[in-house]
Amino acid sequence: MKNIFLDTNIILDFLGERAVFYEPAAKILTLADYKKINIYTSAVSIVNTYYLLAKYENHEIAIEKIRKFNVLCAIASTNDEVVNKAVNSKFKDFEDAIQYYSAITAGCHIIITRNEKDFKNALIPIMEPNSFLKVFK
């Protein structure tokens, strides 16, 4: 079974039910629900998702959505090793570096994001949701 890492934007697409981005994100989460893939994200993504959901909805709704999401998603470790690798990496965005090294530490095979260009130094495949869904079939 493949280990898939979800970037923050994909989690927000799903939990925030963002117009055209919701459906592909929901299909990926359905694959996890059916135990066809394992999904991971970082604690950074969960915190950022909470912040944005609470800002546009409210605390209770944001927490409940994250509680339900957490049933399907494991949290990849963000430890000293991850931070040290991120600090010393060639990533331009520190948060993306944290995401990437958290994914690597968790043994993820693919990172799903809508910002592929942010991960151009990656050594594992970086895919947009629709591209992933096309090749997963």
The structure's pTM equals 0.94
Domain range 2-131, CATH class: alpha beta
User: Domain-by-domain residue ranges, the chain?
Assistant: 2-131
Residue type, 61: I
Going residue by residue through the chain, which has 137 residues, state the pLDDT in tens, using 9 for 90 and above. 799 999 999 999 999 999 899 999 999 999 999 999 999 999 999 999 999 999 999 999 999 999 999 999 999 999 999 999 999 999 999 999 999 999 999 999 999 999 998 898 899 999 999 999 999 86
Which tokens is 21 given? Answer: 């981005």
How does DSSP classify residue 118? G
